[in-house]
Amino acid sequence: MKVGVVTFPGSLDDRDAQRAVRRAGAEAVSLWHGSHDLEGVDAIVLPGGFSYGDYLRCGAIAARSPIMTEVIAAANAGLPVLGICNGFQILVEAHLLPGGLIRNNHGDFVCRDQRLRVENASTAWTNGFTVGQEITIPLKNAEGGFIVDAETLKRIEGEGQVAFRYLDVNPNGSLDDIAGLTNAGGNVVGLMPHPEHAIEPGFGPDTPDAMRSGTDGITFFTSVLQSALARA
Amino acid sequence: MNALVDSVATAEATPEKEQPYAALGLKADEYQSIRDILGRRPTSGELAMYSVMWSEHCSYKSSKVWLRQFGEKVSPEMTKNLMVGMGENAGVVDIGEGWAVTFKIESHNHPSYIEPFQGAATGVGGIVRDIISMGARPVAVMDALRFGAIDHPDTARVLPGVVSGISFYANCLGLPNIGGETWFDPIYQANPLVNALAVGVLRHEDLHLANAKGAGNKVVLFGARTGGDGIGGASILASDTFSAGGPTKRPAVQVGDPFAEKVLIECCLELFAGDLVKGIQDLGAAGISCATSELASNGDGGMQVSLDEVLLRDPTLTAEEILMSESQERMMAIVEPDKLEGFLAVTRKWDVETSVLGEVTETGRLIITWHGETIVDVDPRTVAVDGPVYNRPLSYPTWMDALNADSAEKFLRPSDGATLREQLLTLIGSANLADKSWVTSQYDRYVMGNTALSYPDDAGMIRVDEESGLGVALATDANGRYAYLDPYVGAQLALAEAYRNVAVTGATPVAVSDCLNFGSPENPEVMWQFSRAVEGLADGCLELGIPVTGGNVSFYNQTGDVPIHPTPVVAVMGVIDDVGRRVPSGWQDSGDNLYLLGSTHLELDGSAWAGVIHGHLGGKPPKPHLTREHDLAELLSAAAHEGLLNAAHDLSDGGLATAVVDASLRFGIGARIWLDELLERDQIDPLTALFSESGARVIVAVPREEDVKFLRLCEGRNYPVARIGVTDRGADGAGADLEVQDLFTISLKELRTASRATMVEHFGAVVGYAADLSGSGIHRAPGGGRISE
């Protein structure tokens, strides 16, 4: 199984996402923003970072890059796509997910180990979790406040499109504590926290068991392997 | 002849023309020696180059005679792993397995006071480019910061600006910030210190140097366009050149674009990987003046470049402004002609603008043309290497003896539990010891996925090799109060502390970089402080057996007429063969034995206790014990290697008491401490035991089953060790406490509240503080701090 990780100019967590893909047991394929070739991958990760320097609006320029034309078409045809942080912003700008992400309500960049509750465990990227499961993965952003109009909010809440909610602390003022979303098909998932930073003992968040031992993030990547196997 | 261009021909024809050398910072005799070197008056372009390259900042003219010691006081052991020493953009150390590490710390103090956000941001940008220039991938940053009084209104302007500047730039570069220091003292009120460190890793074969060799090779400028930012004095020359219109006002502080730098990093790494670069130099202070003259000086011939080829952000820039512009995110490479096409293909891929300015020649001259005229024709070494060197007068400060005589021993040392408890709470809430998450939560510590330790652990640690686990640890330290009392000793104590902070993680210290922040070198008392600090550091490094690989001097740091405390910031790097064996600074488990390594003396002069409780600074700083620091580091390394330690924390500011508080708060596990044996053995009173800042001391947590082995190790190495307590999670449901037997008990909740309140009170809330005040702690099965899969 091949999982593509797109590198835009200003992508930062692309190599981390590739590591996560490899640790989950898949092959990581580097995709280039200026290309139209998805190289036959079975799933795609849009990694974190500051694509195009966050100029205009976070994710706005990347959403219009050559590779995204192909990603949008593939996503609409059911290909699993995960957007992490800046990748989530790109998915929103590309209208693959609803709403928008604005400056954190406190105004600053924040990096912290964030607890989340899994709200939807039937997407391509979350099927290894159970609904209501509480996980901890790092969060690090300055523009993570989720906004959406009231009508859409009601719809996505009603249709189970909220994939993750912040627990204990809402770190950025997101509506309804929303940390991540999925589309109606369950193949596209976007979230602000970074699962690729919680995949390897020793380099993840602290847990009750040991320092830096949190690996809750790996389930995102094993989930997509499972869903690919199920489809095959 | 173009009337607007002050060419060499014009200079020869108008020898008597008056030039604004003084406004450019040159002394009359320096100007005269430029005329002597050239045999004529300099052109305005040459004057621009000499003035900026002969500045204190670029030429080290006041410090050079002293800095030589770092190269002279070395043993063969110190240089055996040194691939590149001082003098290049950054030192490079062989860490084994074919890997090398380059690191350096540098100041950006003055710009950060004028414009805190951009000043600090471009400080990070500059040091990161030094690391790229060596052929390395930057992998982490750290920052050592000094501000004025925490409650001064201007600190509320400077600190948030500096922190968000560092956060903005390094976060956007995708570099984890793994540690540093934030320190307050009114002495830095109008002169904050912003010292930024960057570290990079490379394979041995990827090493690159800044030299222009091989006649016919191309001189290529790439990265951001050249604009009018960071031009200090060049506007004077502009007004000198243009009679009409008057001078244009140019901003003195550079403006940073981390996106451009991130793209530049990836572009450079691809260029290195493709073997497309012969020599490379980043553009920092003095911009093109510095890059061309240094590359040419380090080469084997000369260089000819045309300024008309420089891509400009502002087409109205004059030649002098282009030469001096400090626009960020630019690099200069020397490229073989047959590799130029490949080079350009890579820069095109990354959308990095590139222009070929000229080529390496055999003339031995650096020749720069503009609008078809030669405006610079110099021997590059006279610009970059053979600048003026000053042996500035020194004088032992008149106030020194009185200061040293004024010991903190005059203050009452209470021994009742209630007072000691109150003093401890005051100390841990004081500006310098308080929790600094307000700062560090704005930094990305996760990016790259190799961060094994970061704030609040004693040192940051980065994995270098994913297969073997080989990694490096880094710590920066300085104590301006100690250095004020005795600059020689103060520098050694900074070295000892950074060294110890690396050693407690289980890493072996191997190299040093320093950032020497001082007042004006024209003040003989400051110059005396500087000379003593350098001597102390050089002697200390020799004694510890680790080399200084590079660094930076920052003079003219003063608030009004008052120089800052001498502040030699010392960064120490260590190597660990497997980051999986690293030791954190906090208790991880209940029931571990706590041992204090080292002995405690009555050393409260210059301490946090004297400063915070009594507002006092006087006497003599603690004695450095470098041989014992070395023994201690070896002991810790051996203990960590055998997996005998669950935690190890350095004792420094605030002594044993604050160390125990830090280690308890780290994972929310408390401790019971007893002092009797220590008081008896070291013949000290309880306050001294708790707050004295004697060196070469560390507290470690040892799992019971490793007790015998650990004690045998200490005995074998004849290192003083005393069991002083046990870690204790507290009863289920109740929070943990810190108990000092027969004296006092404080809940971790109260300690955490006191530690966290200070930064919040002055600078605002930290996300999540309210939710996790209880500090749930970690609950781990026995088995040591190793990472297991």
Q: Compute the average pLDDT of residues B421-429.
A: 98
What are the residue numbers of the active site of B? 57, 108
CB neighbour class for B35 (10 Å; exposed up to 12, middle 13-18, buried from 19)? middle
User: Residue B781 and residue A209: Cβ atoms within 8 Å?
Assistant: yes
**Min Cα separation A97/chain B (Å):** 25
Q: What is the pLDDT of residue A208?
A: 83
Q: So what's the pLDDT on residue B742?
A: 96
Q: Is A129 on the interface with B (CB under 8 A)?
A: no
pLDDT at B529: 98
Which pLDDT value is given to residue B241? 41
Complex ipTM, two decimals?
Answer: 0.97
pLDDT of residue B236: 52
Cβ distance of B780 and A209 shorter than 8 Å: yes
What order do you get walking across the sheet with B279-282 strand by strand? Answer: B279-282, B330-335, B218-223, B354-361, B302-306, B366-370, B373-378
Mean pLDDT throughout B226-241? Answer: 61
Whole-number pLDDT of residue B3: 58
Instruction: Kindly state the tokens that stand for A78.
Output: 């059911």
pLDDT band at B772 (very low <50, low <70, confident <90, very high): low
B158-170 residue pLDDT tens: 999 999 999 999 9
Q: Report the SS3 class of residue A60.
A: coil
Spatial contact of B395 and B594, defined as CB atoms under 8 Å apart: no
Share of chain B above pLDDT 70, in %: 94
* Percent of chain B at pLDDT exceeding 90: 84
CB-based contact (8 Å) between B258 and chain A?
Answer: yes
Q: What is the pLDDT of residue B728?
A: 94
Summarize the confidence of residues B596-611 as an average pLDDT.
Answer: 98
C-alpha angle B734-A208-B745 in degrees, rounded to nearest 5 = 35
For residue B524, what are its two tokens? Answer: 């003989």
Amino acid at the residue B60: Y
- What residues of chain B, 388 to 447, have a C-beta less than 8 Å from chain A? 440-447
Question: So what's the pLDDT on residue B58?
Answer: 87
Average pLDDT over residues B480-507: 98
Distance separating alpha carbons of residues B291 and B332, to the nearest angstrom: 7
Which pLDDT tens digit goes with each residue over B461-477? 999 999 999 999 999 99
- DSSP string computed for B468-535: T--EEEEEEE--HHHHHH-HHHHHHHHHHHHHHHHHTTTPEEEEEEEEEE-S-TTSHHHHHHHHHHHH
Instruction: Answer whether B666's CB lies under 8 Å from B559's CB.
Output: no
CB B331 within 8 A of CB B283: yes
In this structure, of A182-186, B338-342, B689-693, B764-768, the range with the lowest mean pLDDT score is B764-768
Quick one: which H or E segment has residue A16?
A: helix A14-24
Q: Rounded mean pLDDT of B411-423? A: 98
Q: How far is CA A100 from CA A52, A84, A95, B685, B772, in A?
A: 18, 14, 10, 62, 29
How confident is the model over B687-703, as a mean pLDDT? 98
> What CATH architecture does domain B8-63+208-384 belong to?
Alpha-Beta Complex (3.90)
Q: How does residue B646 score in pLDDT terms, banded at 50, 70 and 90?
A: very high
Residue in B171, B174, B789 closest to A109 by CB? B171
Q: What percent of chain A has pLDDT over 90?
A: 95
Residue B129 sits at the vertex; the CA angle it makes with B124 and B132, to the nearest 5 degrees, is: 130
Residue B300 confidence (pLDDT): 83
Range ranked top by mean pLDDT from B36-45, B210-219, B732-741 = B36-45
Average pLDDT over residues B276-280: 93
User: In whole angstroms, what is the distance from residue A167 CA to residue A172 CA?
Assistant: 12
> Measured between alpha carbons, how far is B199 from B137 in angstroms, rounded to an integer?
8
Q: What's the confidence (pLDDT) of residue B783?
A: 35
* Whether A112 and B768 lie within 8 Å, measured CB to CB: yes
- Give the pTM: 0.94
Domains of chain A: 2-231 (3.40.50.880)
Binning pLDDT at 50, 70 and 90, where does residue B104 land? very high
Cα–Cα distance for residue pair A203/A154, rounded to 1 Å: 38
Best of B443, B767, B776 to disrupt the A interface (most A CBs within 10 Å) is B767
Give the residue numbers of A annotated as catalytic, written as ranges. 85, 194, 196
pLDDT for B432 beyond 60? yes
Instruction: Give the residue among A122, A126, A124, A123 at the shortest CA–CA distance from A193.
Output: A126
- Chain B contacts of A49, Cβ < 8 Å? 174
Q: What contacts B342, CB < 8 A, 6 or more positions away?
A: B274, B276
Subunit contact B443:A111, Cβ cutoff 8 A: yes
Question: Which residues on A lie below 8 Å from B171 (Cβ)?
Answer: 50, 109, 140, 142
Supply the pLDDT for residue A231: 74
Distance from C-alpha of B510 to C-alpha of B502, rounded to nearest angstrom? 10
Facing B174 at nearest CB: one of A12, A55, A211: A12
Rounded average pLDDT over B220-232: 86
- Cis peptide before B380, with omega less than 30 degrees from 0? no
Banded model confidence at residue B246, pLDDT cuts 50, 70, 90: very low
Q: In this predicted model, what pLDDT tens digit does every residue of B705-734 receive, in sequence order?
A: 999 999 999 999 999 999 999 999 987 667
Cβ–Cβ below 8 Å for A110 and B767? yes
State the Cα–Cα distance between residues A124 and A185, nearest whole angstrom.
Answer: 9
pLDDT (tens digit per residue) in A42-65: 999 999 999 999 999 999 999 999
Q: Using an 8 Å Cβ cutoff, are A101 and A58 in contact? A: yes
What pLDDT does B377 receive?
Answer: 96
pLDDT of amino acid B238? 45
Element of type H or E holding B722: strand B721-728
The amino acid occupying position A106 is H
Q: CA-CA distance, B473 to B460, in Å (whole number)?
A: 5
Q: How many helices (H) and strands (E) does chain B have?
A: 28, 28
Please say if the pLDDT value at position B148 is more than 70.
yes
Q: Which two tokens stand for residue B262?
A: 């991130």
Q: What mean pLDDT is predicted for residues B87-106?
A: 91
Whether residues B446 and A197 touch (CB distance < 8 A) is answered with: yes
pLDDT at B85: 81
Q: Is the pLDDT of residue B780 over 60?
A: no
pLDDT at position B232 is 61
How far apart are alpha carbons A149 and B545 in whole angstroms? 65
B55-59, B64-68, B303-307, B387-391: which range is least confident on average? Answer: B55-59
Q: Both tokens of residue B146?
A: 């000094």
